[in-house]
A = this chain, B = another copy of it.
Amino acid sequence: MKVGVLGATGYTGQELVRLLQQHPESELVYLGSSSSSGKSYEVMFPQFSDGRIGLLDDEEVPDLDVLFCALPHGLTAGRAAKWLERGIKVIDLGADFRIKNPETYESWYNCTHPAKEIIPQAVYGIPELYREEIKGKSLIANPGCYPTATLLALVPLFEKGLVSTKNVIIDAKSGVSGAGRSANLANNFSEVNENFKAYGVASHRHTPEIEQQLTLAANDEVLVNFTPHLVPMIRGILTTIYTELAPGVKEDDLLTCWQEYYAEEEFVHILPEGIWPQTKFASGSNHVFLQLKVDQRTNRAIIVSAIDNLIKGASGQAVQNMNLLWGLPENMGLEMRALWP
């Protein structure tokens, strides 16, 4: 399988390179970059040097079986139709195909969608939730990191009607790598370390993505309060979610729902009672950790999920989607567990 990565020098691009280097059925034949074309990837990133990775290429995509697009939003959609026509399967790690309604996309992303007509071809790619829809597709909208962590916790519960569609509060926390590989004073070590803050309050672009998939799961409109925060760590997302129980529902109903839904899933772990997710349980792996508790005093469920934002929240899930598309075991190249400590 010949694969390529467009946007290979960013953090999700680097993580794709790292994972694909170890993937036994893929051959990494193309690394595209607008800014570093012609440079040696191994000299830029000696941590990956293995004598086999070639030079960074420009953005002229050669013939490939799969192209991963790790570009900022707006830069993939306009070119995707061309690649699909050439028979290249496209896995887009950006936002261009995640939102089904172009008006919603345009209002949250403040730009015109460059290829509305192919949005319907895209499938939202969380294998544990949408496996059957993904199979056989050619265009995958690889989900955002926050939506992945949120939806894996909530979709089963909403599908079963166990929690109210009102008053859904998602308080999320992410490591700094989520902000990408760029020179930005706000992400300078001296500004971030020993510091913690909220950002994008009531305005983060992952909000409509979460609402779209929860509305589908609940078959009822869901609005959420979503507040992301920046944690002084590199990797990891933890979401703390507050929801009201549907009438008559108890803590065990929620846990049973998860256990049944994820019984066959290698990457999803419902933790034993009293053990709560830590981002480092997931760090360096494609795994997801879940726990919940119902506060009897307020009849509200507190639900916590943890993932590695660059792996299950981006590049690992992209490789999992590739495996699924090609009928390979979903965990191929994704066997490694968390780097601990």
What copy number does this chain have within its complex? 4
Select A197's contact among B22, B183, B278, B297, beta carbons within 8 Å.
B278
Q: Which residues of B contact A236 (CB under 8 A)?
A: 194-196
Q: Is A295 an interface residue (CB 8 A)?
A: yes
Give the segment of A60-68, A83-91, A165-173, A318-326 that binds chain B. Answer: A165-173
Whether B227 pairs with A197 at a CB distance below 8 angstroms is no
**A176-B190, A183-B185, A196-B173 are contacts. A14–B340 as well, Cβ < 8 Å?**
yes
Which stretch from A43-51, A111-119, A139-147 is at the chain B interface?
Answer: A43-51
Cα–Cα distance between A339 and B311 once the two chains are bound (Å): 11
Q: Which of B195, B279, B300 contacts A279 (CB 8 A)?
A: B195
Which residues of chain A from 238 to 264 have any CB-CB distance to chain B below 8 Å in the complex? 238, 240, 242
Which of B11, B335, B339 sits near A341, CB closer than 8 Å? B11
A336 at interface by CB-CB < 8 Å: yes
Question: Is A75 in contact with chain B by the CB < 8 A criterion?
Answer: no
Q: Once the chains bind, are B197 and A279 in contact (CB under 8 Å)?
A: yes
The answer to whether A188 touches B182 (Cβ under 8 A) is: yes
Chain B residues, Cβ within 8 Å of A177: 190, 341
The answer to whether A233 and B278 touch across the interface, beta carbons within 8 angstroms, is no
- Whether A277 sits at the interface, judged by CB under 8 Å, is yes
Report if A121 contacts B (CB, 8 A).
Answer: no
Q: How far is the CB of A259 from chain B (nearest CB, A)?
A: 14
Which residues of A are in contact with B by a Cβ distance under 8 Å?
Answer: 11, 14-15, 18, 21-22, 43, 45-50, 167, 169, 171, 173, 175-177, 179, 181-185, 187-199, 201-202, 223-225, 227, 229, 231-236, 238, 240, 242, 269, 271-272, 275-285, 289, 293-295, 297-298, 300, 302, 304, 306, 335-341
